[in-house]
Structure 1
Amino acid sequence: MITKTLKNSSIRTGRSFDLGKMNLSQLWIAYLTYPTILLYFALVACSFTVMAYTWTTLAPVAVSIGAVMLVYPLVWYAIHRFILHGRFLYRMKWSASLWKRIHFDHHQDPHLLDVLFGSPLNTIPTIAIVTIPIGYAIGGMPAAAAAFGAGLTITCIYEFFHCIQHLNYKPRMSWIQRMKQRHVLHHFHNENGNYGITSFVADRLFRSYYRDARGCPRSPTVFNLGYDVKEAQQYPWVMEETGAPPRDRPDGANPTRNAA
């Protein structure tokens, strides 16, 4: 089953798994064998091993994990809204390829697994910068290790639910259905809202939440994040790396582009 899924060309677009062509069982196999996820698992194990060998009391460790659980959705919201959806990264040559990889490609082809997962070169340092100082301030090395492990664990959970939101699958649980519906609106109706993945508390708090298509006008930049042909002519670096002009709709059926 595992080998058959991994070698199944019918659920791939170019080199990437295409979530729009997969079922839940196939997702589990792809997710649990994906190198980035395996790296996260290994780092989680290392983090909690360090915690286990260095801790003396439970309270600081528990508090640091709780603090990360509270802070993580807010940090994700801020990064997603103000950095990933910002227009400053593609306007600088040195950061254009970074922006392309971390978010533009995902909005151009929302169902492709290899651009849905963030690059570990970007995600792991970010998780460390956010979580380790919190843990260390609360309880030194053991709490710092626990906080980092918690951040990685939450990231794994986020990534799995993010996959489900783009999967050709209707969840049975109503709360997951609602979560998926809100995220699909972010990708296919208006990108200027519903920035959350598993929680939309920050969206509600900062008034970027909308329940359905009637609650927000359709955005002409939902697939290109404002990097349209006109912008590409002035700031060509993302377009040059892509090898094609930016599209105003996803094109997951273009294997030539995605295999490049």
Structure 2
Amino acid sequence: MDIGRGHPTSRANHTGHDGNKHYALETKNGWRHGELKENRLYRDFFLHFDILIMMAIFLVVLGFLVTMEISLFSLLFFAVGIVTYMFSEYLTHRFLFHIKSPKNPFLLNLIKRLHYDHHKKPNDLKLLFLPIWYSAPNLFVLCLLFYFITGSMSSTLAFTTGILFMFFVYEWKHYVAHRPMKPKTRFGRWLKKTHILHHYKNENYWYGVSTPFVDVLFGTYKEGNDVEMSETAKDLEKRA
């Protein structure tokens, strides 16, 4: 796992210029070095209700997959599932979660739970994970569509496994970005830095959580110093 506990002396390494004040929130919330033990950090992730349900779904899908003949095509469709999730994650984050504030009260409350409130309270554990009532139906629809296209159950199961694998990568990377954890690899630190910039510098960039490569493709990846501070990064309801 790409994990390490954060050190106060390493705060500046996670941010660009003008974006390095976010770690002050860690102090306000009691996130000082050593305060949260590593086993507590793991437990908060792996025993979270929504993660447990998605893990159960993953094990069921994987169980069906291993009973079927696995070929190179299975690996191919597993990879297709990974890439599909990467693009779905980016497009959903950019065009759905950052949609202009709906006037309909029900839709507003829905998008607030899915994302707006997370920007207001980025480190709130209750708002950190995608709710199961959102994740599971989306997974079902996406995989059902794939089955209609291919007509193959084994290919669909491999595709679904890839989707779920990348889902857990997304949730873990997102979790690490908002918890007092210092990634051990340069790539992990880069991921954390870009997501922190998205929350505390400018919400119009750095939409990718599991990987910023899709941001590079669509032009929403910038160096922190090249982007101006946004006044609505923590309050998406105020976006025009």
TM-score range, shorter chain: 0.7 to 0.9
The residue that corresponds to 2:203 in the other structure is 191
* SS of the residue 1:46 aligns to: helix
The residue that corresponds to 1:147 in the other structure is 159
The residue that corresponds to 1:86 in the other structure is 99
Query: Which residue identity lines up with residue 228 of structure 2 in the other structure?
Result: P
Which of these residues, 177, 197, 201, is aligned with residue 189 of structure 2? 177
Which of these residues, 205, 208, 215, is aligned with residue 203 of structure 1? 215
Structure 2 CA distance for partners of 1:124 and 1:215, relative to 1, 3 Å: same
Q: CA deviation at 1:134?
A: 2.8
8 Å contact kept, 1:158–1:197: yes
Q: CA deviation at 1:137?
A: 3.2
Q: CA deviation at 1:135?
A: 5.3
TM-score (norm 2): 0.79
Q: CA deviation at 1:136?
A: 5.5
Query: Which residue identity lines up with residue 202 of structure 2 in the other structure?
Result: N
Q: Structure 1: how far apart are the matches of 2:92 and 2:178? A: 20
Q: How does 1:111-122 map to 2 (within 5 A)?
A: 111-122=123-134
Matched, 1:39 2:53: yes
Matched, 1:56 2:69: yes
Q: CA RMSD in A?
A: 2.2
Structure 2 CA distance for partners of 1:38 and 1:115, relative to 1, 3 Å: same
8 Å contact kept, 2:80–2:162: no
Q: CA-to-partner distance for each residue in 1:126-180, whole Å, 9 max, x for gaps?
A: 1232244335634611221222232122211211111111112322322111111
TM-score (norm 1): 0.74
Q: Structure 2: how far apart are the matches of 1:43 and 1:101? A: 23
Structure 2 CA distance for partners of 1:145 and 1:34, relative to 1, 3 Å: same
The residue that corresponds to 1:28 in the other structure is 42
Off by >6 Å, runs of 4+ in structure 1: none
8 Å contact kept, 1:116–1:163: yes
Q: Structure 1: how far apart are the matches of 2:62 and 2:181? A: 34
Matched, 1:100 2:118: no
The residue that corresponds to 1:220 in the other structure is 231
Query: Which residue identity lines up with residue 80 of structure 1 in the other structure?
Result: H
Query: Which residue identity lines up with residue 49 of structure 1 in the other structure?
Result: G
Which of these residues, 43, 66, 78, is aligned with residue 65 of structure 1? 78
Query: Which residue identity lines up with residue 210 of structure 1 in the other structure?
Result: K
* SS of the residue 2:52 aligns to: helix
Structure 2 CA distance for partners of 1:215 and 1:135, relative to 1, 3 Å: farther
Q: Structure 2: how far apart are the matches of 1:19 and 1:222? A: 23
Query: Which residue identity lines up with residue 222 of structure 1 in the other structure?
Result: A
Q: Structure 2: how far apart are the matches of 1:179 and 1:153? A: 18
Q: CA-to-partner distance for each residue in 1:22-55, whole Å, 9 max, x for gaps?
A: 45432111111111111111101111122233x3
8 Å contact kept, 1:132–1:145: no
Q: Structure 1: how far apart are the matches of 2:140 and 2:155? A: 13
Unaligned runs of 5+ in 1: 1-17, 232-260
Structure with more contact order per residue of length (Cα contacts < 8 Å, sep ≥ 6): 2
Structure 2 CA distance for partners of 1:20 and 1:61, relative to 1, 3 Å: farther
Unaligned runs of 5+ in 2: 1-28
Percentage of matched positions with identical amino acids: 23
8 Å contact kept, 1:52–1:142: no
Q: Structure 1: how far apart are the matches of 2:119 and 2:89? A: 17
Give the number of equivalent residue pairs: 209
Q: Structure 1: how far apart are the matches of 2:42 and 2:60? A: 23
